[in-house]
């Protein structure tokens, strides 16, 4: 199989590995060897935040990407409560090599005024925006949307040239129709066949600026629990989906990579779709410059 690009990694700077609630985080040296053994040629590092972050802040993931440019690229993160100079800070991080913003996890409504400032800046500077979604205020972390993703649709419509990349359970939960709408259900991993009428396929079809981060068990469950649906979904939206893992250490295993390999080997998805999802889309969307 061709080497993959992993668009969602959390890695500590070399020598700074350790336990950060609730996981142990490997450093770059360990992770790059692990990636190679799993057929991953390059990874996009998620930032934990600006200077106040306890782990993986902008300066650390930037330094790691500069240390191993053939292995890592990076996304920056932004404190949206500091509204006065958001665009200037985004421009600064872009000048340092940031390929986008992510993983953005602040627990605020996607249509809040402070989010509008950030999204305006991302669109202006052509920085893709990768978010974690939460089902309600105060529930864990992530931008907040309602059942059916009305705020996401509003965002996609308002920012037509902004590349918006969705991730986490409440995002991928919407792949199927006729689902419970309570917040506990929206943060779980549904079982069984994917029912028709899901809001997410409708949004992918209507908004070409929406992209799917296929990392973690949230995306894996959405695609793999109903394989026939999953193959068709991957084929239909091959231009908008990107492989990822959400790994933080070398003990983690996510089966989607093997699922994709098997799908192309058995003719369930086309080689063209496989190459886009595993590599080419990431290069295009994040403007990666790989040797």
How high is the pLDDT of residue 2? 67
Q: In whole angstroms, what is the distance from residue 174 CA to residue 177 CA?
A: 7
Q: In whole angstroms, what is the distance from residue 217 CA to residue 12 CA?
A: 22
- Candidates 80, 173, 183; CA nearest to 138 is 183
Q: In whole angstroms, what is the distance from residue 112 CA to residue 109 CA?
A: 5
CA angle centred on 45, ends 71 and 253, rounded to 5°:
85
Low pLDDT (below 50) residues in the chain: none
How high is the pLDDT of residue 145? 98
How high is the pLDDT of residue 215? 98
Contacts by residues 182-188 (CB-CB < 8 Å, ≥ 24 positions apart): 183/135, 183/136, 183/139, 184/135, 186/135, 186/147, 187/134, 187/135, 187/139, 187/140
Q: How distant is the alpha carbon of residue 148 from its chain centre?
A: 19
Q: In whole angstroms, what is the distance from residue 100 CA to residue 162 CA?
A: 11
Per-residue pLDDT tens over the stretch 150-173:
999 999 999 999 999 999 999 999
Q: What is the helix (H) or strand (E) element at residue 119, kind and residue range?
A: helix 113-125
Q: In whole angstroms, what is the distance from residue 133 CA to residue 140 CA?
A: 10
Q: Given CA atoms 180, 245, 241, 154 in this order, what sign does their dihedral have?
A: positive
Residue with tokens 């809040």: 112
Q: What is the set of domains in the chain, with CATH numbers?
A: 4-285 (3.20.20.140)
CB 140 within 8 A of CB 134: yes
Structure tokens at 201: 């396929």
**Collapsing DSSP states into helix, strand and coil, what is residue 165?**
strand
CA angle centred on 214, ends 211 and 217, rounded to 5°:
140
CB 43 within 8 A of CB 35: yes
């Amino acid at each position: 199989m061709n080497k993959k690009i992993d668009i969602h990694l959390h890695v500590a700077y070399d020598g700074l590995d350790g336990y950060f609630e609730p996981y142990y985080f490997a450093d770059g040296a360990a992770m790059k060897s692990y990636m190679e053994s799993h057929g991953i040629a390059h990874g996009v590092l998620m930032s934990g935040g600006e200077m106040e972050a306890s782990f993986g802040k902008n300066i650390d993931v930037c330094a790691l990407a500069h240390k191993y440019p053939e292995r890592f690229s990076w996304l920056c993160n932004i404190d949206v409560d500091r509204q006065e100079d958001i665009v200037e800070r985004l421009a600064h991080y872009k000048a340092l090599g940031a390929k986008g913003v992510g993983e953005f996890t602040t627990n605020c409504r996607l249509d809040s005024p402070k989010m509008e400032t950030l999204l305006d800046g991302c669109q202006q500077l052509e920085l893709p925006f990768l978010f974690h979604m939460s089902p309600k205020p105060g529930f864990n972390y992530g931008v907040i949307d309602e059942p059916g993703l009305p705020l996401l649709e509003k965002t996609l419509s308002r920012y037509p040239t902004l590349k918006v990349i969705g991730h986490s359970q409440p995002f991928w939960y919407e792949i199927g129709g006729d689902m419970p709408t309570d917040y506990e259900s929206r943060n779980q991993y549904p079982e069984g066949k994917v029912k028709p009428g899901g809001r997410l396929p409708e949004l992918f079809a209507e908004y070409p600026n929406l992209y799917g981060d296929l990392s973690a068990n949230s995306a894996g469950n959405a695609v793999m629990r109903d394989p026939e649906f999953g193959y068709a979904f991957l084929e239909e939206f091959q231009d908008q989906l990107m492989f990822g893992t959400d790994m933080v250490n070398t003990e983690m295993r996510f089966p989607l990579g093997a699922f994709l390999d098997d799908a192309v080997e058995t003719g369930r998805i086309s080689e063209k779709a496989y190459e886009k999802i595993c590599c080419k889309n990431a290069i295009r969307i994040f403007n990666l410059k790989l040797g």
